[in-house]
Protein backbone atom coordinates (compact mmCIF):
# COMPACT_ATOMS: atom_id res chain seq x y z
CA UNK A 1 0.00 0.00 0.00
CA UNK A 2 2.73 2.37 1.04
CA UNK A 3 4.79 1.34 -1.91
CA UNK A 4 1.94 2.03 -4.27
CA UNK A 5 1.56 5.49 -2.84
CA UNK A 6 5.26 6.19 -3.24
CA UNK A 7 5.14 5.13 -6.86
CA UNK A 8 2.14 7.36 -7.38
CA UNK A 9 3.95 10.35 -5.95
CA UNK A 10 6.98 9.65 -8.07
CA UNK A 11 4.90 9.48 -11.19
CA UNK A 12 3.29 12.80 -10.30
CA UNK A 13 6.67 14.44 -9.72
CA UNK A 14 7.93 13.02 -12.98
CA UNK A 15 4.86 14.27 -14.82
CA UNK A 16 5.27 17.74 -13.36
CA UNK A 17 8.94 17.79 -14.38
CA UNK A 18 8.04 16.65 -17.86
CA UNK A 19 5.37 19.34 -18.03
CA UNK A 20 7.88 21.99 -16.98
CA UNK A 21 10.30 20.73 -19.60
CA UNK A 22 7.62 21.16 -22.23
CA UNK A 23 6.89 24.62 -20.95
CA UNK A 24 10.45 25.88 -21.46
CA UNK A 25 10.18 26.77 -25.17
CA UNK A 26 6.92 28.57 -24.56
CA UNK A 27 8.31 30.56 -21.65
CA UNK A 28 11.39 31.47 -23.67
CA UNK A 29 9.30 32.41 -26.70
CA UNK A 30 7.01 34.71 -24.78
CA UNK A 31 9.85 36.22 -22.78
CA UNK A 32 11.88 36.94 -25.90
CA UNK A 33 8.90 38.28 -27.83
CA UNK A 34 8.12 40.86 -25.15
CA UNK A 35 11.56 42.11 -24.19
CA UNK A 36 14.12 44.42 -25.75
CA UNK A 37 16.27 42.40 -28.22
CA UNK A 38 19.45 41.11 -26.66
CA UNK A 39 22.20 38.92 -28.02
CA UNK A 40 22.43 36.95 -24.81
CA UNK A 41 20.23 33.90 -24.94
CA UNK A 42 18.54 33.38 -21.60
CA UNK A 43 15.46 31.48 -20.58
CA UNK A 44 14.00 34.42 -18.73
CA UNK A 45 14.29 37.88 -20.24
CA UNK A 46 17.03 40.07 -18.79
CA UNK A 47 16.07 43.20 -20.70
CA UNK A 48 13.17 45.58 -20.29
CA UNK A 49 9.60 44.75 -21.27
CA UNK A 50 8.56 46.11 -24.65
CA UNK A 51 5.82 45.77 -27.23
CA UNK A 52 8.09 47.01 -30.01
CA UNK A 53 8.88 43.54 -31.37
CA UNK A 54 5.22 42.71 -31.76
CA UNK A 55 4.53 46.11 -33.27
CA UNK A 56 7.44 45.79 -35.69
CA UNK A 57 6.52 42.37 -37.04
CA UNK A 58 2.81 43.19 -37.14
CA UNK A 59 3.58 46.18 -39.34
CA UNK A 60 6.26 44.52 -41.44
CA UNK A 61 3.85 41.89 -42.70
CA UNK A 62 0.07 42.17 -43.31
CA UNK A 63 -0.77 39.84 -40.44
CA UNK A 64 -4.38 41.05 -40.32
CA UNK A 65 -5.08 39.73 -43.81
CA UNK A 66 -3.08 36.60 -43.06
CA UNK A 67 -5.21 35.92 -39.98
CA UNK A 68 -8.43 36.17 -41.92
CA UNK A 69 -7.04 34.00 -44.71
CA UNK A 70 -5.84 31.36 -42.28
CA UNK A 71 -9.20 31.32 -40.51
CA UNK A 72 -11.07 30.96 -43.80
CA UNK A 73 -8.71 28.21 -44.87
CA UNK A 74 -8.95 26.26 -41.63
CA UNK A 75 -12.71 26.60 -41.12
CA UNK A 76 -13.84 26.01 -44.70
CA UNK A 77 -11.54 23.07 -45.14
CA UNK A 78 -12.75 21.42 -41.97
CA UNK A 79 -16.44 22.01 -42.69
CA UNK A 80 -16.20 20.48 -46.14
CA UNK A 81 -14.10 17.59 -44.81
CA UNK A 82 -16.72 17.04 -42.12
CA UNK A 83 -19.48 16.59 -44.68
CA UNK A 84 -17.59 14.59 -47.29
CA UNK A 85 -15.90 12.30 -44.79
CA UNK A 86 -19.10 11.56 -42.88
CA UNK A 87 -20.88 10.50 -46.02
CA UNK A 88 -17.97 8.44 -47.26
CA UNK A 89 -17.46 6.80 -43.90
CA UNK A 90 -21.14 5.92 -43.63
CA UNK A 91 -21.12 4.39 -47.07
CA UNK A 92 -17.98 2.39 -46.39
CA UNK A 93 -18.66 1.46 -42.80
CA UNK A 94 -22.38 0.84 -42.68
CA UNK A 95 -23.81 0.31 -46.12
CA UNK A 96 -22.98 -2.94 -47.82
CA UNK A 97 -22.18 -2.54 -51.45
CA UNK A 98 -20.15 -4.40 -54.00
CA UNK A 99 -16.55 -3.28 -54.13
CA UNK A 100 -16.67 -1.35 -50.88
CA UNK A 101 -13.55 -3.12 -49.69
CA UNK A 102 -11.69 -2.06 -52.81
CA UNK A 103 -12.85 1.54 -52.54
CA UNK A 104 -11.77 1.59 -48.93
CA UNK A 105 -8.38 0.13 -49.82
CA UNK A 106 -7.83 2.82 -52.44
CA UNK A 107 -8.77 5.58 -50.01
CA UNK A 108 -6.66 4.02 -47.30
CA UNK A 109 -3.62 4.04 -49.56
CA UNK A 110 -3.78 7.81 -49.73
CA UNK A 111 -2.83 7.99 -46.08
CA UNK A 112 0.55 6.57 -47.04
CA UNK A 113 1.31 9.27 -49.61
CA UNK A 114 2.82 12.34 -47.98
CA UNK A 115 1.17 15.61 -48.95
CA UNK A 116 4.45 17.18 -50.04
CA UNK A 117 4.81 14.66 -52.86
CA UNK A 118 1.48 15.82 -54.26
CA UNK A 119 2.42 19.47 -54.42
CA UNK A 120 3.46 19.47 -58.06
CA UNK A 121 0.58 17.40 -59.50
CA UNK A 122 -1.95 19.36 -57.45
CA UNK A 123 -0.44 22.60 -58.61
CA UNK A 124 -0.62 21.49 -62.23
CA UNK A 125 -4.27 20.55 -61.89
CA UNK A 126 -5.09 23.87 -60.27
CA UNK A 127 -3.10 25.66 -62.92
CA UNK A 128 -5.25 24.09 -65.62
CA UNK A 129 -8.37 24.98 -63.68
CA UNK A 130 -7.03 28.55 -63.41
CA UNK A 131 -7.23 28.34 -59.65
CA UNK A 132 -3.64 29.16 -58.76
CA UNK A 133 -3.44 32.07 -56.36
CA UNK A 134 -6.99 31.68 -55.10
CA UNK A 135 -8.23 30.65 -51.67
CA UNK A 136 -10.38 27.91 -53.11
CA UNK A 137 -7.34 26.54 -54.93
CA UNK A 138 -5.43 26.45 -51.69
CA UNK A 139 -8.21 24.38 -50.03
CA UNK A 140 -9.46 22.20 -52.85
CA UNK A 141 -6.91 19.36 -52.58
CA UNK A 142 -7.86 18.88 -48.92
CA UNK A 143 -11.63 18.69 -49.33
CA UNK A 144 -11.51 14.95 -49.07
CA UNK A 145 -9.52 13.42 -46.26
CA UNK A 146 -8.48 9.79 -46.26
CA UNK A 147 -7.56 9.98 -42.59
CA UNK A 148 -10.98 11.31 -41.61
CA UNK A 149 -12.77 8.67 -43.65
CA UNK A 150 -10.66 5.96 -42.06
CA UNK A 151 -11.20 7.26 -38.53
CA UNK A 152 -14.95 7.68 -38.93
CA UNK A 153 -15.43 4.39 -40.70
CA UNK A 154 -13.75 2.52 -37.87
CA UNK A 155 -15.93 4.34 -35.39
CA UNK A 156 -19.14 3.82 -37.32
CA UNK A 157 -18.36 0.12 -37.60
CA UNK A 158 -18.13 -0.20 -33.83
CA UNK A 159 -21.57 1.30 -33.30
CA UNK A 160 -24.07 -1.55 -32.80
CA UNK A 161 -26.37 -2.12 -35.73
CA UNK A 162 -29.28 -2.43 -33.29
CA UNK A 163 -29.12 1.30 -32.55
CA UNK A 164 -29.57 2.18 -36.19
CA UNK A 165 -32.27 -0.45 -36.60
CA UNK A 166 -34.17 0.97 -33.65
CA UNK A 167 -34.02 4.41 -35.20
CA UNK A 168 -35.25 3.02 -38.48
CA UNK A 169 -38.20 1.29 -36.78
CA UNK A 170 -39.10 4.62 -35.26
CA UNK A 171 -39.26 5.98 -38.80
CA UNK A 172 -35.90 7.75 -39.12
CA UNK A 173 -34.56 8.34 -42.62
CA UNK A 174 -30.94 7.62 -43.55
CA UNK A 175 -30.02 11.25 -42.96
CA UNK A 176 -31.66 11.25 -39.59
CA UNK A 177 -29.90 8.02 -38.65
CA UNK A 178 -26.54 9.54 -39.49
CA UNK A 179 -27.35 12.78 -37.75
CA UNK A 180 -28.93 11.37 -34.59
CA UNK A 181 -27.21 8.05 -34.13
CA UNK A 182 -23.87 7.83 -35.86
CA UNK A 183 -22.55 11.36 -35.50
CA UNK A 184 -23.19 11.72 -31.75
CA UNK A 185 -21.63 8.32 -31.12
CA UNK A 186 -18.52 9.21 -33.11
CA UNK A 187 -17.98 12.56 -31.40
CA UNK A 188 -14.51 11.68 -30.11
CA UNK A 189 -13.42 10.77 -33.62
CA UNK A 190 -14.75 14.05 -34.98
CA UNK A 191 -13.01 15.99 -32.24
CA UNK A 192 -9.67 14.37 -32.73
CA UNK A 193 -9.87 14.79 -36.47
CA UNK A 194 -10.80 18.44 -35.97
CA UNK A 195 -7.62 18.91 -33.95
CA UNK A 196 -5.51 17.22 -36.59
CA UNK A 197 -7.09 19.08 -39.49
CA UNK A 198 -7.07 22.50 -37.87
CA UNK A 199 -3.51 22.29 -36.58
CA UNK A 200 -2.25 20.89 -39.87
CA UNK A 201 -3.79 23.64 -41.96
CA UNK A 202 -2.93 26.30 -39.43
CA UNK A 203 0.72 25.29 -39.59
CA UNK A 204 0.99 24.33 -43.25
CA UNK A 205 3.62 26.40 -44.98
CA UNK A 206 4.97 25.02 -48.24
CA UNK A 207 1.67 24.41 -50.03
CA UNK A 208 0.18 27.88 -49.31
CA UNK A 209 3.51 29.44 -50.26
CA UNK A 210 3.59 27.66 -53.59
CA UNK A 211 -0.02 27.96 -54.61
CA UNK A 212 -0.46 31.63 -53.71
CA UNK A 213 1.36 34.68 -55.00
CA UNK A 214 -0.32 37.76 -53.62
CA UNK A 215 -0.41 38.80 -49.97
CA UNK A 216 -4.21 38.94 -50.31
CA UNK A 217 -4.31 35.13 -50.35
CA UNK A 218 -1.43 34.19 -48.08
CA UNK A 219 -1.50 32.66 -44.64
CA UNK A 220 0.14 33.27 -41.26
CA UNK A 221 2.97 30.80 -41.74
CA UNK A 222 4.16 32.67 -44.81
CA UNK A 223 4.31 35.79 -42.66
CA UNK A 224 6.35 33.96 -40.06
CA UNK A 225 8.78 32.68 -42.69
CA UNK A 226 9.85 36.21 -43.58
CA UNK A 227 11.42 36.35 -40.13
CA UNK A 228 12.21 32.76 -39.29
CA UNK A 229 13.87 31.88 -42.58
CA UNK A 230 15.94 35.02 -42.85
CA UNK A 231 19.10 33.65 -41.45
CA UNK A 232 21.77 34.62 -43.90
CA UNK A 233 23.33 36.84 -41.28
CA UNK A 234 21.95 35.88 -37.91
CA UNK A 235 18.68 34.96 -36.28
CA UNK A 236 16.73 37.94 -35.05
CA UNK A 237 15.17 35.94 -32.28
CA UNK A 238 13.08 38.78 -30.89
CA UNK A 239 11.30 39.17 -34.22
CA UNK A 240 10.98 35.45 -34.81
CA UNK A 241 9.47 34.98 -31.36
CA UNK A 242 7.13 37.93 -31.78
CA UNK A 243 5.85 36.57 -35.10
CA UNK A 244 5.55 33.07 -33.70
CA UNK A 245 3.64 34.41 -30.73
CA UNK A 246 1.16 36.18 -33.01
CA UNK A 247 0.59 32.95 -34.84
CA UNK A 248 0.30 30.46 -32.00
CA UNK A 249 -1.79 32.49 -29.60
CA UNK A 250 -5.27 31.48 -30.93
CA UNK A 251 -4.45 27.79 -30.91
CA UNK A 252 -2.78 28.12 -27.55
CA UNK A 253 -5.87 29.76 -26.06
CA UNK A 254 -8.08 27.18 -27.70
CA UNK A 255 -5.99 24.49 -26.09
CA UNK A 256 -6.22 25.98 -22.62
CA UNK A 257 -9.97 26.40 -22.90
CA UNK A 258 -10.75 23.04 -24.43
CA UNK A 259 -7.90 21.05 -22.92
CA UNK A 260 -10.09 18.36 -21.37
CA UNK A 261 -11.94 17.66 -24.59
CA UNK A 262 -8.69 17.48 -26.52
CA UNK A 263 -7.25 14.95 -24.12
CA UNK A 264 -10.29 12.75 -23.92
CA UNK A 265 -10.79 12.74 -27.65
CA UNK A 266 -7.22 11.68 -28.23
CA UNK A 267 -7.39 8.98 -25.62
CA UNK A 268 -10.61 7.58 -27.01
CA UNK A 269 -9.52 7.81 -30.60
CA UNK A 270 -6.18 6.25 -29.70
CA UNK A 271 -4.06 8.32 -32.03
CA UNK A 272 -1.56 11.06 -31.61
CA UNK A 273 -1.13 12.69 -34.94
Nearer to other proteins, 13 or 129 (CB): 129
* C-alpha–C-alpha distance, residues 232 and 240, integer Å: 14
Q: Which is nearer to other proteins, 119 or 271 (CB)?
A: 119
H or E element, residue 48: none
Q: Cβ 108 to other proteins, closest distance in Å?
A: 20
Q: Where are the alpha helices (DSSP H) in the chain?
A: 2-33, 52-60, 63-93, 100-112, 119-128, 135-139, 146-158, 161-169, 174-177, 183-185, 187-203, 206-211, 220-228, 237-257, 259-269
State the nearest-atom distance from the C-beta of 142 to other proteins, in Å: 17
Cβ-based nearer residue to other proteins, 216 or 251? 216
Least distance from C-beta 136 to other proteins, angstroms? 11
Cα 193 to Cα 151: distance, rounded to the nearest angstrom: 8
Task: Give least dist CB 4 to other proteins, A.
Answer: 45
Label residues 39-76 b or e (16+ Cβ within 10 Å = b).
eeeeeebeeeebeebbebbbeebebebbbebbebbbeb
Non-local CB neighbours of 52 within 8 Å, separated by 6+ positions: 36
- Residue 172's Cβ-count burial label (10 Å; 0-12, 13-18, 19+) is middle
Nearer to other proteins, 31 or 62 (CB): 62
> Measured from the CB of residue 216, what is the shortest distance to other proteins in angstroms?
5
- The residue (of 81 and 239) whose beta carbon lies closer to other proteins is 239
Indicate the SS3 state at residue 35: strand
CB of 105 to other proteins, least distance (A): 21
Residue ranges in contact with other proteins by CB under 8 A: 39-41, 56-62, 64-65, 114, 116-121, 123-124, 126-128, 130, 132-134, 206, 209-210, 213-217, 222, 225-227, 229-236, 239
Of 172 and 226, nearer to other proteins (C-beta) is 226
Amino acid sequence: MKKKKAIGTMITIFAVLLGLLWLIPLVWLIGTAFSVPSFHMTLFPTTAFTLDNIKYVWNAVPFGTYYINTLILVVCTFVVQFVTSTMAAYALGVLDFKGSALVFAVIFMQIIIPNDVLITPNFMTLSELKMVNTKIGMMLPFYGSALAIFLLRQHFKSIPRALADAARIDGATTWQTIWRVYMPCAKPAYLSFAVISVSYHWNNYLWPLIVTNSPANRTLTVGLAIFAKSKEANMQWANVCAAAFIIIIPLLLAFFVAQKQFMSSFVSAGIKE
